[in-house]
Amino acid sequence: MTPFVDATPKEFDFIFDVNVKAAFNVAQIVIKNMIERKCGGSIVNISSQAGQAALKDHAIYCMSKAALDMLTKTMALEAGPHNIRINSVGPTVVMTDMGKMAWSDPQKAQDMLNKIPLGRFADIDEIVDPVVYLLSDRSSMINGVYLPIDGGFLAT
């Protein structure tokens, strides 16, 4: 990630294309199809704790995830009458290959871990399980929600 003063328009466009525009375009196609088929259903956007809390050197990323969170809410309002639920999850750092690489600097990792009351980063299954729940009929009354999966990061 890049400090705000060093961020480039190219970086801005790339991050927004991946984190906002892609979700917008895919959801628009899927929701139109669901409405035409009158099938209802659920979509879960993968956001980040960074959409709710500023992180140093992450200005563009934080902005993009905040935009995705608001997109989630507006889609929930518009798709809800068609029995289509839209929610998002906001993970902390997840120990994927990319997460391990991005947070391999011990000092950088420790600085973030110090802000997480549970004192650790998330495993992949800890993100997948809540997503599966939100996609299931067991969460049929949950719509327009941002669910933090951050070990308490946002509580601090």
pLDDT at 128: 98
pLDDT at 156: 85
pLDDT at 52: 98
Q: What is the dihedral of CA 91, 97, 101, 104, to 10 degrees?
A: 70
pLDDT at 1: 80
Residue type, 115: K
- Name all domains of the chain by residue range, CATH numbers in brackets: 4-149 (3.40.50.720)
Contacts of 153 (CB under 8 A, 6+ apart): 49, 53, 92, 115, 116, 117
pLDDT at 49: 98
pLDDT at 152: 98
10-residue averages of pLDDT along the chain (156 residues): 94 98 98 98 98 96 98 99 99 94 91 97 97 98 99 96
pLDDT at 57: 92
Question: Rounded CA gap, 50 and 132, in Å?
Answer: 22
Is residue 80 within 8 Å of residue 38, measured between CB atoms?
Answer: no
pLDDT at 55: 93
For residue 17, the Cα-to-chain-centroid distance in whole angstroms is: 14
Residues annotated as part of the active site: 61, 65
pLDDT at 139: 99
Closest CA to 23 of 73, 80, 94, 83: 73
